[in-house]
Amino acid sequence: MRWSKLKEQLESRICDSLKNRVSYNSTRYRGTHDQVGRAWVTFDHDIIHDFCTVKRSYKYNTLANEIRAETNSLDWKDPVQQKGYYQAYNQAANEMERQGIHNQYEFYEAIEEYLNLSIEDAMNSSNPIIRAIAFFDGRLGKRRLLNIKKDENIIVIKFIVIRKKAEGLYKEEGNFA
């Protein structure tokens, strides 16, 4: 599906308190190899989260190289080092997930899946991008928003705080979000 259509569908689901305040954006860098790009979400014209393919690739590879150097698993051809070599990439991918660093393609996949989910399924998704987007959804009511359990993911926490502040439900002390 074309980005313009995805954006239209995604923004049509934004709750009233965030209408015209939240925007989903995307671009491709035509001069780069494979024409990769980035997507980003803005709130009141400030970027609240960025899904940059180039930035994520750089951080992922840098971290994997550091892990491989620390574990002395630099040669994928050496049978003794092979397991550690590939584990370094798995560890780097897990760390990218923990830090909320995703690429443009992960964002696209998440929104395409999100658009086909009920609000219940979106809120319980294993994908943090889908869970985060669900907090801006108009199908999520204030009562349910008040009863949200703590989430560990950086992106989800940011989106919860923004939504609760927009609804006037955010309490600084004693409230995780």
Predicted confidence at residue 147, as pLDDT, reads 86
Element (H, E) at 68: helix 53-70
Q: Is 177's pLDDT higher than 80?
A: no
Q: In the chain, where are the structural domains located?
A: 3-52+103-167, 54-99
What span, in angstroms and rounded, lies between the C-alpha atoms of 140 and 145?
7
Give per-residue pLDDT as tens, 109-139. 999 999 999 999 999 999 999 999 999 999 9
pTM: 0.84
Which pLDDT score is estimated for 82?
Answer: 85
Residue found by looking up tokens 């502040």 in the block: 165
Predicted confidence (pLDDT) per residue in 71-116, tens digit:
888 887 888 888 898 999 999 999 998 888 999 999 999 999 999 9
* DSSP letter for each residue of 137-159: BTTS-HHHHHTPPP---HHHHHH
Strand, helix or coil for residue 10: helix
Residue 25's φ and ψ, nearest 5 degrees, are: -135, 160
